[in-house]
Chain A
């Protein structure tokens, strides 16, 4: 790790202002992804702002019947919250499908949204990577890319977003609340929060420099069967090859988002009109324009079959 100075934030606005004053500063909350990347010198912040002491660790009801989840609510606590388990089960299921018990105890809601890809070329500092070193090239294109994106990629990057939680947040239409260095607050719909790689794969979210996530809000509960189905190389403690978050009503209508296939949680609202017609029709719309590689083309069939299994499970 490179040396860094360290401070404990006193308020969300002060943290954001401090980040703007220190070029190269990073916020640290759970630290489970950031410290891993710092040890490998993929992340090299000169200053860390520890936000763990901020009062952002509560889950509160909102006036419209939704939930406001503080940025520092740990993944374990969010998954186990009785209101989330009862009314937003797809979110509990997604969280429980990710990482390990130890990591979920530490990892936070905001940090989960901001975690970085597990593309092996992003992690290997001896290899070109446009995300790690803009302009150096993409080693995954033409490399070993079985895990990589099949939709939404670019000539600069085919990395996937690793989060399970974010896929459930996308299907629930969550909103990210932030505070900026000037003290202004804003609300970013989850659909607009994560970016596609384009020519700037190093820019992963809509956050501005120094902007701090303070909460994620969920709208009122969405009726229907809540399912999160994750397919991976081993039964536990592995990232998704493909995952499906779905909420399906008894009449077959509903909503669906995919993980493991793109640079962001993948949802195409127009595809949801096809839900009563079955998995193949939905998958065709969701994956329209897909550009798989020889090694990851299996994900197209896997999406359809996983969707089929999800839809079957909601009919029983």
Chain B
């Protein structure tokens, strides 16, 4: 993973160190303030789930979030850690087809689950239609929120298809529209600090229009 940009390398190392505070390298540091417990005493548990059609069995510190399991244990770093508190949506993945914040759920709570991350939606050779549309419409600047935006949009379009209403739906019992107002409300759990929102709406609208 050689990166020609020193700045990026150092940022990545900072992020990895930050992410590890609830994961592999962390137990001695984490346990220290609470008293005499040691790394050996930290409870662990085995869990089996499928990620992007690949089954995995991991033995994890019970504190490990699904996000940290994906990034630090399975090395699927496409899913991003932003706020780590469910406020930004960068960690959005699909679990059994539904979009959730992977930072706010424990890996051990997902025995038998099917997880889809950005790596499972498309490949560089065969982009998912939403990935292609984000490129086409310039739906990002720095790109950090993009995997979460795209996973969220996949789940969101399925929710619209299932007829789930939103806060801005005028009629609770009618089939929801795919208006820009609806898309903006339904995507409000994904923050883009670069402010690419209007292009994100354009990208999703294009894909939504072709599948509606």
Contacts and interface: CB of A to CB of B under 8 A. Distances in A.
B34 interface: yes
Interface string A2-27: 11111010000000000000000000
Interface stretch (B120-128, B132-140, B157-165): B157-165
B186 interface: yes
Interface in A223-249: 235-237
Contacts of A237: 188-189
A3 B64 CA distance: 10
B105 interface: yes
Given A2-B34, A35-B105, A102 B63 contact: no
A101 B30 contact: no
A139 interface: no
B101 A106 contact: yes
B12 to A, nearest CB: 22
Contacts of B190: 100
A79 B186 CA distance: 14
Contact of A4 (B62, B85, B92): B62
A102 B159 contact: no
B20 interface: no
Contacts of B105: 30-32, 35, 106
A3 B166 contact: no
Contacts of A28: 106, 109
Contacts of A50: 108-109
A269 interface: no
A5 B61 CA distance: 9
Interface in B147-168: 152, 155-156, 159, 162-167
A105 B99 contact: yes
A30 B42 CA distance: 23
B188 A5 contact: no
Contacts of A101: 99, 152, 155-156, 159, 186-189
B62 A92 contact: no
Interface residues of B, number: 49
A52 B109 contact: yes
A215 interface: no
A246 to B, nearest CB: 16
A267 B116 CA distance: 43
B194 interface: no
B119 to A, nearest CB: 19
Contacts of B108: 6, 50
A35 B106 contact: yes
Given A5-B62, A35-B104, A103 B42 contact: no
Given A80-B163, A101-B152, A36 B86 contact: yes
A3 B37 contact: yes
Interface string A250-286: 0000000000000000000000000000000000000
B167 A97 contact: yes
Given A96-B166, A237-B188, A35 B45 contact: no
B163 A103 contact: no
Interface residues of A, number: 38
A79 B159 CA distance: 12
B92 A3 contact: no
B22 A4 contact: no
Contacts of B106: 6, 28, 31, 35, 48
Nearest to A80: B164
A1 interface: yes
B104 A32 contact: yes
Contacts of B142: none
A39 B109 contact: no
Contacts of A39: 22, 84-85
Contacts of A93: 167, 172
Interface string B94-116: 00001111001110110100000
28 contacts: A1-B30, A2-B34, A3-B27, A3-B30, A3-B41, A3-B63, A5-B62, A6-B108, A32-B101, A32-B104, A36-B85, A52-B109, A76-B98, A79-B164, A79-B165, A80-B165, A86-B172, A86-B173, A97-B167, A100-B190, A101-B99, A101-B155, A101-B156, A101-B187, A102-B92, A103-B86, A236-B185, A237-B189
Interface of B: 22, 27, 30-31, 34, 37, 41-43, 45, 61-63, 65, 84-86, 89, 92, 98-101, 104-106, 108-109, 111, 152, 155-156, 159, 162-167, 169, 172-173, 184-190
Which are the 5 A-B pairs with shortest beta-carbon distances? Answer: A100-B189, A236-B188, A237-B188, A80-B164, A6-B62
Given A36-B104, A93-B172, 7 more contacts: A1-B22, A6-B45, A6-B62, A35-B105, A76-B164, A102-B101, A236-B188
